[in-house]
Chain A
Amino acid sequence: MDFSLTEEQEMFRGHIRKMLDKFGGTQLAREMIDNNPENLKKVYTTLAELGCSGINIPEEYDGMDLDALDLVPTFEEMGRSLVPGLFMETSALVVPILKKYGTEQQKQQYLSAIASGETWISFAALEPFNDFSPAGIQCTLVQHDGQYVLNGTKTLVPEAELADAFLVLVRTNQEDQEDGLSLVLIDKTEELNIEKQSSFDESTHVAKIEFNQLVIKEDQIIGEVDKGWTQLQEGLLYFNAALSSYIVGAMESVVNMATEYAKIREQFGQAIGRFQAIKHSIVNMKVNLEIARSLSHYANWVVDTDEFDREAAIYSARTYATEKFIEVSAHNIQIHGGIGFTEEIDCHLFVKRARYYDQYLGSTPFYQEKVVASLGW
């Protein structure tokens, strides 16, 4: 038995960390608050040059044909610096879905472009006043004289301005709830009506997209029509495993911040880290981090296997990570005292992102139910 990342994986982590530090770490997220994605674009180019965007893409499409576990250092490091953008949606949602369900032509069109870092893809699922369940998807794609026409509104689409294409979840059949959804890939064109939405996590941008009689070609539909929900579930396994890694990285930053501050900040003549109220609070954060890390490493390993606990492991990694991220980022503010409540230092960035991800593509109870259901209980 060996439950650890390999030396190569850890070495790779080192390269990414160095690169992100050079760009100022969380500075990248702060620049997004100011609507300035220039450095972020450079980071994405560098990530592609380092090979990150091709890690899980087959060799025939110019990738490295490695496993989800090989993406873990990248995601953890991105999480550490709260790097925004579409890396996760592209590599951990779209790529696995395309690999498994895409047609040869779709693979050729997208996989190589993704591997080279030319194409980043966002995901449009949610709709106003609706949740992330099959019944919540009402955007309709209707066949008309040999053409497909799309109508409806999507909200909370991440980083629309950075996207080259969108993976859109649409209703293709009104009769059947689950078996009536399809996934389509839509390139970003002038025709799309995109409007930025404001979110309290300003370091990740979200947008509303309205589809008004948009004509879609049949070959934009991924795999079989009406099977989008099933396809998405498979993609979500990879996505949630990746998300748990990203959050582990973010939690690690938070624990480091709290620990370092508690060592230097003095009150009553001593470092506050000597007070157990503070010390024990940080230890609880650390314990939560390590459990989340162990769950997430396992989740990223198991996702490429057919172990019996594949789904339960991944969904429990996700719920545990999102839940504890909220908790540790809140404690971090408390430990910092007044300065923790300011915009000046990073504490708030993590709190906001924690809440954002908790409710992104499902909530804690939503995934807890999936854990239990996947175990057959």
Chain B
Amino acid sequence: MDFSFTKKEEKFRTELRTWLEANLPEGWLEGKRDLPEDLDEYSRVLRAWQRKLYEGGWAAIAWPKEYGGRNASLMEEIIYHQEMVRVKAPPLINYIGIHMVGPTLIDIGTDEQKEKYLKKILTGEEIWCQGYSEPGAGSDLTGLKTRAVKDGDRWLINGQKVWTSFGHVADKCFLLTRTSTHPEKKHRGITVFMMDMHQPGVETLPIVQMDGHKDFNEVYMTDAVATDADIVGKVDSGWHVLIALMLHERTGIGAELFTLEKQFNDTVELAQQYKVNGKPLIENPLVRQKLANFYARVRGSLLNYYKNLTTTIKNGQPGAETSIDKLVVTELNQALSAFAVEIQGHQGVLFDKDAVADPKWQHLFLASFGQTIGGGTSEVQRNTIGERVLGLPKDMGR
């Protein structure tokens, strides 16, 4: 048992902290953290932030040095997330490029592909999205119908994607398509393309979410074009590529857990400020019990994450147990943000500028419903845990 950080790790933390202090947007540390409402403006500001990260050598710390990373250890990644959460750093607009597409290309991409894409991912010149889900293919991605057909020396892509996060700002899409016409096994015959989002046959339409934001999209493809050079891995073996890509999500849940911990502390503060009958809510025994319960769950989840991380460090790769982390953090986030709204009583329904406390609570509460769905629903996580951790028989139909 050892919760300390090594000298080298502490040095890394100090270095990052110093850099952040000098480079965060003006006024950020003092609380001026509003991002532009206008989409183009928003994208411009966050691309600029990505560029700055790149110039400081902080864009993709886990990547190998030769590709512009720092070859960071898992612990350094953890520290990186901790520090970013601490300063409430601007969101990473190229999250998918940095954490998923880049590492996958480094792993299995051709030399030309690495040459062509990696640097642009780092600098924010090319933002990526993931095109997996379709109206008829959600939890079961093998139901996808988007088709890529060879036409001379190019591929023509037709179909529709949905729920595509970052689609409205993206330049490139990591696209799942069906290429084989008579697949005996549904997960065979799928091919991954790196598709240009700015070509004529691609249309992106924003979807309004229940929290009023428009963070994801429908993407329509009508004879969109790609070439052999845009294929990741081999034709018809997209499923393996997808699995390789998922293995690269080494520490991402950590960032969410650190954020959750911070939000828990903010909830406590809210309960201290908010008065009922003239008395701070935190003096109410029922509120205290709930806070104690949340404390245990939040701490327990974070510690459990550390436990799984330790196993990952020892084994060299994450095990199926990490599904527990995703399940727990998203459901806990939903319960906690609901509680933060609940303790505001009648006034909890007030939104945006009219919210009595920080309006983030109402937003977090609404946004939390996306978390238990995106990236694999809670039900699908439970199947994974049941089957891969506990060895229970497979879900029917698979």
Residues of A within 8 A of B (CB): 1-5, 69, 255, 259, 262-263, 270-271, 273-274, 276, 279-280, 282-284, 286-287, 290-295, 297-298, 301, 309, 312-313, 315-317, 319-320, 323, 365, 367-369, 371-372, 375, 377
B307 in contact with A4 (CB, 8 Å): yes
B268 touches A316 (CB 8 A): no
Inter-chain CA distance A368–B307, complex, in Å, is 24
Quick one: given A279-B392, A316-B292, A371-B292, are A294 and B1 in contact (CB under 8 Å)?
no
CB nearest neighbor in B for A262: B392
Q: Is the interface of A mostly helix, strand, loop or mixed?
A: helix
Minimum Cβ distance to chain A for residue B107 (Å): 26
Max chain A C-beta neighbours (<10 A), residue from B1, B299, B382, B389: B1
Known contacts being A1-B306, A292-B300, is A368 close to B288, with CB within 8 Å? yes
**Does B222 make an interface contact (CB < 8 A)?**
no
Residues of B within 8 A of A (CB): 1-5, 75, 78, 268, 271-272, 282, 285, 288-289, 291-293, 295-297, 299-301, 303-304, 306-307, 309-311, 313-314, 321, 324, 327-328, 379, 382-383, 385-387, 389-396
Are B392 and A273 within 8 A (Cβ)?
yes
Cβ-defined partner of A274 (8 Å) among B1, B297, B299, B392? B392
Known A69-B1, A294-B306, A368-B289; judge A282-B300 contact (CB<8 A).
no
Choose among B272, B299, B313 the residue with the greatest number of A CB atoms under 10 Å from its CB: B299
- 16 additional contacts, CB 8 Å, given A274-B396, A279-B392, A293-B304? A3-B303, A4-B310, A259-B392, A273-B393, A276-B382, A279-B383, A279-B386, A279-B395, A280-B382, A283-B385, A286-B390, A294-B304, A316-B299, A319-B292, A368-B288, A372-B291
A259 and B1 within 8 A (CB): no
Docked-complex contact A1 and B288, CB < 8 angstroms = no
- Checking A259, A282, A320, A372 against B288 with a beta-carbon cut-off of 8 angstroms, the contacting residue is A372
Task: Determine if B310 and A316 form an interchain contact, defined as CB atoms under 8 angstroms apart.
Answer: no
On chain B, the residues within 8 Å of A368 by CB distance are 288-289, 292-293
Q: Quick one: closest B residue to A72, CB to CB?
A: B1
Complex CA–CA separation, A301 to B310 (angstroms): 16
A-side contacts of B324, CB under 8 Å = 286-287, 290
Q: Which of B272, B293, B392 contacts A263 (CB 8 A)?
A: B392
Given the interface contacts A2-B310, A3-B3, A377-B282, does A294 sit within 8 Å of B295 by beta carbon?
A: no
Q: Pick the contact of A291 from B288, B297, B306 — CB < 8 Å?
A: B297
Most buried by A among B272, B301, B311: B301
A–B pairs, 7, beta carbons within 8 Å = A2-B310, A273-B393, A292-B300, A294-B306, A367-B292, A368-B289, A369-B292
Note all chain A residues with C-beta closer than 8 A to B387.
Answer: 279
Residues A280 and B386 in contact, CB atoms below 8 Å apart: yes
Q: Is the CB of A1 within 8 A of B289?
A: no
Cβ-closest chain A residue relative to B1: A301
Would you list the 4 A-B pairs with minimal beta carbon distance, nearest first?
Answer: A368-B292, A316-B296, A291-B300, A294-B303
Q: How distant is A331 from chain B, measured CB to nearest CB, in Å?
A: 14
A1 engages B310 (CB within 8 Å): yes
B4 x A1 contact (CB < 8 A): yes
B386 near A263 with CB under 8 A, answer no
Instruction: State whether A297 touches B379 (Cβ < 8 A).
Output: no
- B303: chain A residues at CB < 8 Å are 3, 294-295, 297-298
Least Cβ–Cβ distance between B152 and chain A, in angstroms? 47
A263 touches B1 (CB 8 A): no
A93, B51: Cα distance in complex, Å: 58
**Which listed residue (A255, A280, A293) contacts B379, Cβ 8 A?**
A280
For B287, give the chain A residue with the smallest CB separation. Answer: A372
The answer to whether A276 and B395 touch (CB under 8 A), given A294-B303, A316-B296, is yes
B307: chain A residues at CB < 8 Å are 3-4, 290, 293-294, 297
The residue in chain B whose Cβ has the minimal distance to the Cβ of A9 is B1
**How close is A237's CB to chain B, nearest CB, in angstroms?**
16
By the criterion CB–CB under 8 Å, are A4 and B395 in contact?
no
A255 to B321, CA, bound (A): 15
B396 and A259: CB pair below 8 A?
A: no
Give the shortest distance, in Å, between B45 (CB) and chain A (any CB).
Answer: 35
Given the complex, which residues of B lie within 8 Å of A295, measured CB to CB?
A: 296, 299-300, 303
- Specify the chain A residue showing the minimal Cβ separation from B311: A4
Closest to B280 in A: A377
A4 and B311 alpha carbons, distance in the complex (Å): 8
For the complex formed, measure the closest distance between the CB of A292 and the CB atoms of chain B, giving whole angstroms.
Answer: 7
Q: Is the CB of B328 within 8 A of A291?
A: yes
Please indicate the chain B residues that have their CB under 8 angstroms from the CB of A291 in the complex: 297, 300-301, 304, 328
Whether A274 pairs with B393 at a CB distance below 8 angstroms is yes
With A283-B385, A365-B289, A369-B285 as contacts: A297 and B295 at CB distance below 8 Å:
no
For B314, the chain A residues whose CB sits under 8 A away are: 4
Partner of B292 from the list A282, A290, A372 (CB cut-off 8 Å) is A372
CA gap between A333 and B288 in the complex, in Å: 32
Residue of B nearest to A271 (CB): B393
Cα A317 to Cα B300 in complex, Å, equals 8
CB-based contact A1/B395 at 8 Å: no
Neighbouring B residues of A375 by C-beta, 8 Å:
295
A372, B282: Cα distance in complex, Å: 9
Asked if residues A286 and B385 are in contact (CB atoms below 8 Å), the reply is yes
> Taking the nearest CB of chain A, how far is it from the CB of B260, in angstroms?
13
User: Which residues of the other chain, B, contact A284 by a CB distance below 8 angstroms?
Assistant: 382
A320, B297: Cβ atoms under 8 Å?
A: yes
Q: Which of B299, B314, B385, B392 has the most CB of A within 10 A?
A: B392
A274 and B75 CA atoms in complex are apart in Å by 38
- Give the shortest distance, in Å, between A60 (CB) and chain B (any CB): 26
Q: Which residues of A contact B291 (CB under 8 A)?
A: 372, 377
Closest to A69 in B: B1
Chain B residue contacts of A315, Cβ below 8 A = 292
Closest to B314 in A: A4
Give the residues in chain A near B310, CB-CB below 8 Å: 1-4
Looking at the assembled complex, report how far the CB atom of A22 sits from the nearest CB atom of chain B, in whole angstroms: 26
- Assess the A282–B306 pair: CB atoms within 8 A: no
Asked if B5 and A286 sit within 8 Å, CB to CB, the answer is no
Contacts of A294 in B (CB 8 A): 300, 303-304, 306-307
**Do residues A377 and B288 form an inter-chain contact, with CB atoms below 8 A?**
yes
* Residue of A with least CB distance to B304: A294
A317 (CB) vs chain B CBs: closest residue: B296
B residues near A280, Cβ cutoff 8 Å? 379, 382, 386
Q: Which of B282, B393, B394 has most chain A Cβ within 10 Å?
A: B393
Separation of A259 and B389 alpha carbons in the complex (Å): 11
Given contacts A274-B396, A320-B296, contact A279 B5 (CB under 8 A): no
B293's nearest neighbour on chain A, judged by CB, is A368
A259 to B388 CA separation, bound complex (whole angstroms): 12
Residues of chain A within 8 A of B306, CB atoms compared? 1, 3, 294
Residues of B within 8 A of A5 (CB): 1
